[in-house]
Amino acid sequence: MVKAANSRGAAPGTPPRTRILVVGGGYVGMYTALRLQRKLRAGEAEVTVVTPEPYMTYQPFLPEAAAGSISPRHVVVPLRRILPTCRIVIGEAQRIDHAKRTATVTTLATDEEGAGPVEIAYDELVLAPGSISRTLPVPGLADYGIGFKTVEEAIGLRNHVIEQMDIASSTRDPAIRDAALTFVFVGGGYAGVEALGELEDMARYAARYYHNVTPEDMKWVLVEASDRILPEVGPEMGVYTVRELRRRNIDVRLETRLESCENRVAVLSDGTRFPTRTVVWTAGVKPHPVLAASDLPRNEHGRLVCTAFLTVEGVEHAWAAGDAAAVPDITAAEPGRTCAPNAQHAVRQARTLADNLVAALRGEVLTEYAHKYAGSVASLGLHQGVAFVYGRKLKGYPAWFMHRAYHLSRVPTFNRKMRVLAEWTLSGLFKREIVSLGSLEHPRAEFELAAGGGSGPTPPRPTPRPPQDSQG
């Protein structure tokens, strides 16, 4: 194991700078580092951000990126650009030894160097690795399932859907055609419903350019284990959403589970079987595995036990927020309730966490995190949505407009806001793009064929897999 060079950077005769390590570059990690960057005095502390990707993904825009309403590059925020005074380390935190104030990290160069993981020392720890997809031991899922948590998965799913329409249009085998035009989504939360709504809307539009594929030929299935979908928008709006999806000929199966998807056949708990080439898994998330590889206290769900000050309970110099943290909701009427692991809380918690960390460094008073849940908005496709905000229920176009306005106000940086707004404006003036660029996922395939003399078969395209145990 190699110890990373981590100089305290202090001039002779002055106190050493505090080393702040932020694990995770998602909502909490990025916003915490951004606020620390603004509030820390020159030379007061050095901030290191460890993250698997050099960007933060604004996940509420993934469905629109999959539908082609937003370019993929505008869904992500480059960390090096907005965090110029922070040290960005692209890698995975494998283990946290808080007793020794060290984090074991594998970087992109770890395998090349052959010297093992890097050990980064710190004085203050901000643990915000986010969550990963919660998968179940469903036969065939690891072979045929597609996740929907990263921008790569969103664009891959878009390419996959259009490719299935191309297959259906060109095949003479009715069984292959039916399987290609059957799309099964598992999970009735935000990710599943919004992804299904946007992609069904896109595919229905794209069908007008196929001479032998119509919207009626396609079968869209939503599988949800509970008795309702989108619980965050309330029972009434959940019922409306089911009714709206079924009006669009989407088969919504409540209180139903996916039992198997082996051999490209989706078998449901109600006995239904769907030959399909598309199974999208969005059935929940679980804490990042690095939490279990630390010496910090966790609750029964695997999340860090935190205080309302966003410190880890019973531990000094450790902070956490977002999906990884069980933060008490002091605004709730019932005691013992924790804040929901969503973006609304994560962004606000990051602000409070950074302020408290700076206050702790300066010996000032800390502030409790308190935010009363404002409500939720969800898109169901172009001009369709549902919302439950401050007790008010909206549906259809007003909810869809609120969804766009809210997330436009929340996406980081003015640059991203203007680019997204410009793309929305242009998409309203011109026709949708329905091109599949699946070859981008295998850019060397053509060259490898040419380099081999052109005699070998085209390399097979790997089947998309659900996200593994890595930070989303």
Could you read off the pLDDT of 98-114 as tens digits, one per residue?
999 999 999 988 878 87
> Is residue 92 situated within a structural domain?
yes
The whole-angstrom separation of Cα 308 and Cα 158 is: 41
Question: Per the structure, how many domains does the chain have?
Answer: 3
pLDDT at 438: 61
Q: Are 279 and 261 in contact (CB under 8 A)?
A: yes
pTM, entire model: 0.85
User: Do residue 247 and residue 154 come from a single domain?
Assistant: yes
User: Do residue 91 and residue 210 come from a single domain?
Assistant: no
User: Do residue 302 and residue 403 come from a single domain?
Assistant: no
Tell which residue, 181, 206, 148, 164, has the closest CA to residue 465: 148
> Is residue 221 situated within a structural domain?
yes
User: Do residue 356 and residue 409 come from a single domain?
Assistant: no
pLDDT, average across residues 196-206: 94
> Strand 118-121 vs strand 102-107: parallel, antiparallel, or unpaired?
antiparallel
Q: Which residues contact 323 (CB under 8 A, 6 or more apart)?
A: 130, 131, 285, 287, 288, 303, 341, 346
> Is residue 11 situated within a structural domain?
no
User: Do residue 129 and residue 151 come from a single domain?
Assistant: no
Range of the domain at 252: 135-283
Task: Answer whether residue 445 shows pLDDT above 90.
Answer: no
The whole-angstrom separation of Cα 392 and Cα 133 is: 31
Q: How far is CA 337 from CA 46, 252, 354, in A?
A: 35, 31, 23
User: Do residue 259 and residue 171 come from a single domain?
Assistant: yes
pLDDT, average across residues 149-177: 93
Q: Which residues contact 247 (CB under 8 A, 6 or more apart)?
A: none
> Is residue 449 situated within a structural domain?
no
> Is residue 452 situated within a structural domain?
no
Q: Are 52 and 26 in contact (CB under 8 A)?
A: no
The whole-angstrom separation of Cα 427 and Cα 54 is: 28
pLDDT at 167: 95
> Is residue 163 situated within a structural domain?
yes
Per-residue confidence band for 427, with pLDDT thresholds at 50, 70 and 90 = confident
Tell which residue, 5, 32, 31, has the closest CA to residue 125: 32
- Which of 242, 258, 283 is the C-terminal boundary of a domain? 283
Tell which residue, 149, 26, 22, has the closest CA to residue 412: 26
User: Do residue 184 and residue 240 come from a single domain?
Assistant: yes
User: Rg for the chain (alpha carbons), in Å?
Assistant: 24
Q: Are 309 and 367 in contact (CB under 8 A)?
A: yes
User: Do residue 152 and residue 205 come from a single domain?
Assistant: yes
Residues 307/308/310/313 CA torsion (nearest 10 deg):
-10
pLDDT, average across residues 339-346: 84
Residue type, 161: V
Residue 308 DSSP code:
T
Q: If DSSP codes are grouped into helix, strand and coil, which group holds residue 190?
A: helix
The whole-angstrom separation of Cα 227 and Cα 246 is: 15
User: Do residue 145 and residue 279 come from a single domain?
Assistant: yes
User: Do residue 210 and residue 279 come from a single domain?
Assistant: yes
